[in-house]
Amino acid sequence: MLGRVEKIYDSGNRTQALYLLQDAHKHAGNLTIKDEMNYYTWCAGTYRKDLKNNDLYLQYADSILRLLENSGKSKELTNRHIQALNMKADAYFDKGFFNDAYNFYFLAKKLASENGDSCSLSQFSYSLGMALYKQQRYKDAARHFYEASDEIMRCKDEFVFFYRRQELLDNMGLCYFHAGLYDSAMHFYRQTIAFIDSNYLKYDKRESVYLSAIGVVDGNIADIYIKLKNYDTAISLLNKSIAINLQKGYANTDAVLEQLKLARVYFVTGRNQKIKPLLQQINAELDSLPDKHNQLSLYLLMWKYSDSNHDYVSAYNYLKAYEFLNDSLSEDNLQLSGADAGDRINNLERQYQISVLNKHNQQEKIYLSIAVVLVLMALLIISLILRNAKKSREHIRILTGLNSQVNDQKEQLQTANKELMNKDVEKSRILRSAAHDILNPLAAISGLADMLISESVGFDLEQKEILNLIREACENSMSLCRDILEATTDEKRELPMEWIDIHKLLLNTTDLFAMQAARKKQQLVYKNEINKAEVFANKEKIGRAISNLINNAIKFSYENSVIYIGLKIVDNKIDISVKDSGTGIPEQNKPFIFDLFTKAKTVGTGGETPNGLGLSISAHIAKLHNGEIWFESEEGKGSVFHLTLPLSRCQHA
């Protein structure tokens, strides 16, 4: 059956192959653990690579981990465990949850290191290299790709490792190309083709895979000739690459990328008669092969083509579409650039080493601490007895004077507090006004930088780097302005809304915080009293509000405690509750808990520092969705926070 599935898959019918395998699995009986894992791994790869569904990819990775929990220990199962951890890390990375991704990458690396498995270590090096490549840290990425290539040489002689090796060689070429080292890039591209040729048809009959890989490398080599202004050679290579990968079952998305390169070369060389039919063909292919980056390039080319033909209405429409999509991708890139993969992994490594040392020294420290405390207490008691006997009257006089000073200071503090409240309101108004006024010129500068970068044929590397720095600085500043506006505005504004399965969103959010809770030895328990409920809302904002509530519960709960997260219908409204048994909220702080820059700040049970914005932003988000946030709390006994939203669609359990 698997051979038939792979044959259908290689022919280009990826979805049909997946459904056939799932149907066969449904009717199969008495499968071994290895068979189950092969099934989960195959489905996961198809959902990620071909169907671009990271949620289902993550679910299959979790299924493998659950299957491994009660399956004993063996070298083969350990390798599967490492593979599943890397899969889960990849899913989190693709979804933009970079810190969670790096946590799972580290766990995979740790397990591989403990078992001396250099083959599995290659997956960690590859994944970290991909993260650094997307952050445009090309030389660092090339180093990790080289390590992965060296480590994978110790793997079995199987097709999957051959395919990864040729991909790593090609990736090193891409890194050196983007770093401006064209000779080094050409060296690795030629080494990739030589490696593919030496293994041609070695593993079964997969001619399409070999040819497709060569087509990809040809397209990458064409980039070098474009930089060298050898356009005829570049056009020849691009046409060769496109002819290979436009075939059904080949790397169709890469073929579209090469067509876009070819269109840009036609622009540069003045071959205008070939541009329009090529752009029309690309547009038709993107309907069935959607890709945001390819779509962005197409909008830019259509804009330039329409403008050069004096079709200014079409040019304006393509420019608007380009700017809208570019803003979306820029925001994703900004989040990625803020997540330092190398530093995160190094920090996790250091924390692990420290925890090992702490375990060895913990008992000795406890005994020493007890001895020191007993000695200090004895000395303190003796000192207090002696001082009290000699200076009791003096203490009464001093305390009377201190009490008077405290009363005076109390009055001064009350006056200062009123002044601070007035200044807080004025500060919010000034921050909001400044952020709003700064945002527009920053957006204009960023747009101009993008236009210059997109037309940067005549710029040298230093000029391009300066333009990228200008754009990055603008994007960082714009993000800061939006956060300030988010935290200080009371006005309702238009948000992109969609139908959201609130149960699924709450379940995913709970899973994301499970590791954070585990670090404090806490348990998150999710209870759903609804089968399915949908609300019409902004998914990012509602997710942020829920995350703030769960994060606060973890922050202010004690170790070894349980946090309950609930979902139910109350008075025809969705009620999301987060209940902890932590410190609770002091009575005097309750009126100010949702204030902007609130004075009701409390340090977490683990020493976590509060910022005073989370609950204020969550309340603002609830207000934007015609909902509300409220709480019940008793100091010392914990709190229950409720987020209620208007119910749209519901099925009870």
Please state which of the ranges 88-97, 277-286, 643-652 shows the lowest mean pLDDT.
643-652
Please state which of the ranges 63-77, 100-114, 388-402, 513-527 shows the lowest mean pLDDT.
388-402
Please state which of the ranges 119-128, 281-290, 340-349, 529-538 shows the lowest mean pLDDT.
340-349
Contacts 24+ apart (CB under 8 A), 358-366: none
Domains: count for the chain = 2
Average pLDDT over residues 232-256: 91
**Crossing angle of the two packed helices 118-134 and 138-152, in degrees rounded to 10:** 160
Judge whether residue 235 has pLDDT over 90.
yes
Yes or no: say if 78 and 97 are a contact pair by the CB < 8 Å rule: no
| pLDDT tens-digit readout, 218-234 | 999 999 999 999 999 99
Residues 529 and 413 in one domain: no
Please state which of the ranges 352-366, 387-401, 415-429 shows the lowest mean pLDDT.
352-366
275 vs 128 pLDDT, higher one = 275
367 vs 357 pLDDT, higher one = 367
Measured CA to CA, the distance from residue 3 to residue 368 in angstroms comes to 66
Question: Residue 359 has what pLDDT?
Answer: 46
State the pLDDT confidence band at 263, using cuts at 50, 70 and 90: very high
Question: Residue 357 has what pLDDT?
Answer: 47
H-helix or E-strand spanning residue 631: strand 628-634
| Domain ranges, residue 373 | 341-488
Yes or no: say if 564 and 582 are a contact pair by the CB < 8 Å rule: no
Q: What's the count of helices (H) and strands (E) in the chain, helices before strands?
A: 21, 8
Strand runs (DSSP E) across 259-328, as ranges? none
Average pLDDT over residues 392-402: 70
State the pLDDT confidence band at 173, using cuts at 50, 70 and 90: very high
Of 467, 488, 509, the domain-final residue: 488
Residues 575 and 599 in one domain: yes
Question: Residue 12 has what pLDDT?
Answer: 66
| Cross-strand bridge partners of residue 40 | none
Closest by Cα among 596, 277, 274, 624 to 421? 596
Whether residue 480 is contained in a domain is answered as: yes
Question: Residue 384 has what pLDDT?
Answer: 73
Residues 464 and 599 in one domain: no
Q: What does pTM read for this prediction?
A: 0.49
Residues 530 and 641 in one domain: yes
Residues 477 and 535 in one domain: no
CATH number of the domain within which 545 lies: 3.30.565.10
Of 463, 488, 513, the domain-final residue: 488
Whether residue 397 is contained in a domain is answered as: yes
Of 461, 488, 515, the domain-final residue: 488
Residues 643 and 551 in one domain: yes
Average pLDDT over residues 510-516: 88
Yes or no: say if 125 and 150 are a contact pair by the CB < 8 Å rule: no
Average pLDDT over residues 291-304: 89
| pLDDT tens-digit readout, 251-261 | 888 999 999 99
Judge whether residue 300 has pLDDT over 80.
yes
Whether residue 120 is contained in a domain is answered as: no
Residues 556 and 618 in one domain: yes
178 vs 490 pLDDT, higher one = 178
Q: What is the mean pLDDT of the chain?
A: 81
Average pLDDT over residues 47-57: 81
Whether residue 403 is contained in a domain is answered as: yes
What percentage of residues in the chain have a pLDDT greater than 70? 82
Residues 522 and 634 in one domain: yes
Measured CA to CA, the distance from residue 124 to residue 95 in angstroms comes to 18
State the pLDDT confidence band at 362, using cuts at 50, 70 and 90: low
Pair of tokens at residue 171: 């990736």
Question: Residue 429 has what pLDDT?
Answer: 72
Average pLDDT over residues 311-325: 90
Judge whether residue 9 has pLDDT over 60.
yes
Q: Which residues make Cβ contacts (< 8 Å) with residue 118, sequence separation at least 6?
A: 112, 151, 154
Question: Residue 186 has what pLDDT?
Answer: 95
Average pLDDT over residues 298-316: 90
Please state which of the ranges 34-43, 128-137, 259-268, 469-478 shows the lowest mean pLDDT.
469-478
Residues 581 and 610 in one domain: yes
Residues 484 and 502 in one domain: no
Judge whether residue 391 has pLDDT over 80.
no
Whether residue 550 is contained in a domain is answered as: yes
Question: Residue 356 has what pLDDT?
Answer: 42
Whether residue 401 is contained in a domain is answered as: yes
Average pLDDT over residues 508-523: 89
User: Other C-beta atoms within 10 Å of 353: how many?
Assistant: 10
| pLDDT tens-digit readout, 434-472 | 776 787 788 778 778 777 777 766 777 788 778 777 876
| pLDDT tens-digit readout, 536-553 | 999 888 998 999 999 999
Judge whether residue 190 has pLDDT over 90.
yes
Closest by Cα among 44, 21, 51, 135 to 90? 44
State the pLDDT confidence band at 522, using cuts at 50, 70 and 90: very high
Question: Residue 355 has what pLDDT?
Answer: 43
Residues 475 and 527 in one domain: no
Cβ-in-10-Å burial (0-12, 13-18, 19+) of 386 comes to: exposed
> Which of 42-56, 277-291, 628-642 is the most confident on average?
628-642
Judge whether residue 483 has pLDDT over 70.
no
Judge whether residue 653 has pLDDT over 70.
no
Whether residue 464 is contained in a domain is answered as: yes
Residues 371 and 470 in one domain: yes
Judge whether residue 268 has pLDDT over 70.
yes
| pLDDT tens-digit readout, 146-171 | 988 888 888 877 888 888 899 999 99
Judge whether residue 329 has pLDDT over 90.
no
Whether residue 188 is contained in a domain is answered as: no
Single-letter amino acid, residue 81: H
Judge whether residue 335 has pLDDT over 60.
no
